[in-house]
Amino acid sequence: MKRRKPGKANYLETAKQVLNIEIEAIKDLSVSLNDNFSAAVNFILKCKGRVVVTGMGKSGIICKKIAATLTSTGTQAIFMHPSEAMHGDLGLITRNDTVIAISHSGETREIAELIPHLKLMKTKIIAVTSNPDSGLAKEADVLLSYRIVREGCPLNLAPMASTTTVLALGDALAAALMKAKNVKAEDFYLFHPQGRLGQTLLCVSDLMVKENLPIIQRQTQMREVIKIMVSTNFGAVLIEGSKGHLRGIITDGDIKRLIEEDEYFLQKKAGDFVKINPKYIFEDSLAREALMVMEENRITFLPVLGQDKKIAGIIHIHDIVKHNYGRRK
């Protein structure tokens, strides 16, 4: 059998055609989403167990990503291979779980064989399929359907637009659940403690120094101010008010200027030289926010305040950089 000679091809044109087909498929999904989507979100929110995502072949690969995204954003989820389920992995599922079954045709044999067992276990089923008349669609508690005109594959055979659309639908579910659960950046860090992204989501309270702080009062003599600044090695002292609130700051740069400008400054008090309205940050802020404030103002540390606006600590730029970039390479 003779091999066909490859024809001339415009690779960029082919690539753009595929991308445009997938874009149109996702646009169509966005328009066609209805109350069934909200019902699916509510099913998952009420689920007392886990979300079990199942599908065969390329759909199975998409299922794994959806399960991983749900888990990393605050919704416990696992992938279950439908064939393995029929050989013992059904033991993973309880009646408290919710199953998301994904099949482009809605008639995938392995999924069809799984459904009666899920029904017997009284497990809720969310179907994701392009065929609203399929067996899977009819057996599901909630149907999430999508429409594919072409796959994007030049032969219109390999799953492309369909898998991309289902992947986008999974992201939409995860985002809606995050919104419903009020997942915050600090919660996201709990799910990603070792990742670079998670490290940037640390709170200031996780990195700040809380003990042996260089705190003085307005009436503290400047000789004592310098001793405290040197012994604590922060490069500054914080002026504390009567109720523990931050009233100002004196830095080592201020001391250097005073040495040149005022030969009698050692005989004076901190209140004579204090900088009022210094930059600060609250302890529940993100560490990356503190880093931005320091970089914008060209400073190396920030006083940290609690919600009561009392002095709670100090955060240094080196502690943030070290934590973000000093771990695994």
**Using one digit for the tens of pLDDT, what is the confidence trace for 232-279?**
888 899 999 888 899 999 988 888 988 888 888 888 998 888 888 889
Residues 319 and 215 in one domain: yes
Tell me if 211 is assigned to some domain: yes
Residues 140 and 106 in one domain: yes
Tell me if 116 is assigned to some domain: yes
Please report where in the chains the tokens 């960029």 appear, as a residue: 12
User: Where are any strands of DSSP class E within 180-326?
Assistant: 215-216, 236-240, 246-251, 281-282, 301-305, 311-316
Q: How many domains are there within the chain?
A: 2
- The pLDDT value recorded for residue 191 is 60
CATH number for the domain harbouring residue 300: 3.10.580.10
- The pLDDT value recorded for residue 193 is 54
Q: Which residues contact 86 (CB under 8 A, 6 or more apart)?
A: 110, 113, 114, 117
Q: Is the pLDDT of residue 166 over 90?
A: yes
Residue 200 confidence class, pLDDT cut points 50, 70, 90: low
Residues 175 and 269 in one domain: no
Kind of pairing between the strands at 236-240 and 246-251? antiparallel
H or E stretch covering 173: helix 161-181
Tell me if 194 is assigned to some domain: no
Tell me if 254 is assigned to some domain: yes
Residues 39 and 165 in one domain: yes
Query: In which domain, by residue range, is 74 found?
Result: 12-183
User: Where are any strands of DSSP class E within 162-294?
Assistant: 215-216, 236-240, 246-251, 281-282
Give me the torsion for CA of 112, 114, 120, 124, rounded to 10°: -90
Tell me if 2 is assigned to some domain: no
Find, among 170, 82, 161, the residue nearest to 128 by Cα.
Answer: 170
Residue that finishes a domain, picked among 130, 153, 183 = 183
Question: Where is pLDDT greater, at 171 or 298?
Answer: 171
Percent above pLDDT 90 for the chain: 60
Please report where in the chains the tokens 């901190």 appear, as a residue: 270
Residues 234 and 299 in one domain: yes
Tell me if 7 is assigned to some domain: no
Residue that finishes a domain, picked among 122, 149, 183 = 183
User: Where are any strands of DSSP class E within 10-136?
Assistant: 51-54, 77-79, 98-102, 124-129
Residues 139 and 274 in one domain: no
H or E stretch covering 144: strand 142-145
Instruction: Dump pLDDT digits (tens) for 110-131.
Output: 999 999 999 999 999 999 999 9
| Mean pLDDT in residue range 211-231 | 92
Neighbour order of strands in the sheet with 301-305: 281-282, 301-305, 311-316
The chain-wide mean pLDDT, for the chain, equals 88
Residue 195 confidence class, pLDDT cut points 50, 70, 90: low
Tell me if 18 is assigned to some domain: yes
Residues 117 and 241 in one domain: no
Give me the amino acid identity at 207: L
Tell me the pTM.
0.63
CATH number for the domain harbouring residue 103: 3.40.50.10490
- Check if the beta carbon of residue 326 is closer than 8 Å to that of residue 301: no
Among 93-107, 225-239, 280-294, 312-326, name the one with the lowest average pLDDT: 312-326
In terms of Cβ atoms closer than 10 Å to its own Cβ (0-12, 13-18, 19+), residue 311 is buried
Q: Is the dihedral of CA 230, 232, 236, 240 positive or negative?
A: negative
Residues 313 and 172 in one domain: no
Residues 176 and 235 in one domain: no
Kind of pairing between the strands at 124-129 and 98-102? parallel
Residues 263 and 209 in one domain: yes
Residue that finishes a domain, picked among 183, 213, 241 = 183
CA distance 60 to 301: 49
